[in-house]
Amino acid sequence: MFGAAGIIARQESTLIIEALLLMLVVGIPVIALAGYFAWRYRAGNKDARYEPEWEHSAMDELVWWAVPFEIVLILGALAWLSAHTLDPYRPLASSAPPLTVEVVSLNWKWLFIYPAQGVATVNYLAIPAAVPVSFRLTSDAPMNALWIPALGGQEMTMPGMVTQLHLMADGPGEYTGLSSNFSGEGFAGMQFPVYSMTQEEFAQWVAQTKAATSSLDWNSYEALAQPSDNNPAAFYRLSDPNLYTEIVNQFMASTSGGMMMDDN
């Protein structure tokens, strides 16, 4: 629906349409009656009954209280169910093991780390189709938000914290990812392509990326983390498997008694 290319996006689209239709059950009659009353009881209509003593109708009050009340109950039930079903922290059911991608929002670019594959990218996201993707998100810059509209959902990134997002693409395709939270002058350039591939294509892409001449460790990361605008895609071998943990924990090291994130 409306370009949805993943299970989460389809459920979110369905939820929006269902909620809109339910609200129109009240909205359309109210708008229509407002126009009808204005026309029916206009000054020039001599056939309209004048009833200055009329003050109560049990049937009318039953309709205009009961119908909206029932719709609010239905909307409340939809909201409660969807809040649990579409919880971004809830893993997606699948026979395929999930792919973990560690996400860091920077000024003004996105860093994607694939810990199991030993590679990393900037402003480029490759995922296998029909495989759940478990995103672990943080920030080494102002608070931001990751959003891939075709796959559904968005999630905030915050320094020193790890949030989660689970998405899955139905099949191969090319989509757009972006930042949905204003974060300064380079915000508009925080867009990146998302390539959903077959598992064979993804394995080939990982092998090619591992052959990249650039490697990513803490020293190269510090240079990468400097503010820059409209960054092109970049690819790295991951030299430091604990880099994501170090990025998160740097904000806690100076806090006495602060809780450090482990690698699990």
Write the pLDDT tens digit of every residue in 95-134. Answer: 999 999 999 999 999 999 999 999 999 999 999 999 999 9
| pLDDT > 80? residue 254 | no
Local confidence band at 56 (pLDDT 50, 70, 90 cut-offs) = confident
User: How far is 233 from 229, CA to CA, in rounded Å?
Assistant: 12
Whether the Cβ atoms of residue 198 and residue 172 lie closer than 8 Å to each other: yes
Q: Peptide bond before 108: cis, by omega within 30 degrees of 0?
A: yes
| pLDDT > 80? residue 3 | no
Take residue 8 and report the two structure tokens written for it.
Answer: 């989460």
For 240, counting Cβ atoms within 10 Å of its Cβ (0-12 exposed, 13-18 middle, 19+ buried), the class is middle
Q: Is 99-249 CATH 3.40.50.740? A: no
Whether the Cβ atoms of residue 109 and residue 103 lie closer than 8 Å to each other: no
Whether the Cβ atoms of residue 143 and residue 157 lie closer than 8 Å to each other: yes
Across the chain, mean pLDDT equals: 91
User: How far is 234 from 58, CA to CA, in rounded Å?
Assistant: 69
Tell me the mean pLDDT in the region 73-102.
Answer: 93
Token pair 């004048």 is found at 50
Other C-beta atoms within 10 Å of 193: how many? 13
β-pairing verdict for 215-216 and 234-238: parallel
Take residue 243 and report the two structure tokens written for it.
Answer: 């880099």
Q: What sign for the dihedral angle of Cα 226, 99, 147, 261?
A: negative
6 strand-pairing partners: 169
220 strand-pairing partners: none
User: How far is 176 from 159, CA to CA, in rounded Å?
Assistant: 24
Take residue 85 and report the two structure tokens written for it.
Answer: 């079903």
Take residue 205 and report the two structure tokens written for it.
Answer: 């892409």
Q: What pLDDT, on a 0 to 100 scale, did the predictor assign at position 1?
A: 40
**What's the whole-model pTM score?**
0.85
β-pairing verdict for 163-167 and 173-179: unpaired
User: How far is 127 from 171, CA to CA, in rounded Å?
Assistant: 10
Token pair 């395709």 is found at 173
User: How far is 54 from 116, CA to CA, in rounded Å?
Assistant: 75
| pLDDT > 70? residue 142 | yes
Q: At what angle do helices 7-40 and 58-85 cross, to 10 degrees?
A: 160
| pLDDT > 80? residue 241 | yes
pLDDT in tens, 4-31: 899 999 999 999 999 999 999 889 988 9
pLDDT in tens, 165-210: 999 999 999 999 999 999 999 999 999 999 999 999 999 999 999 9
Q: What pLDDT, on a 0 to 100 scale, did the predictor assign at position 59?
A: 87
Whether the Cβ atoms of residue 196 and residue 175 lie closer than 8 Å to each other: yes
Q: What pLDDT, on a 0 to 100 scale, did the predictor assign at position 256?
A: 44
| pLDDT > 80? residue 260 | no
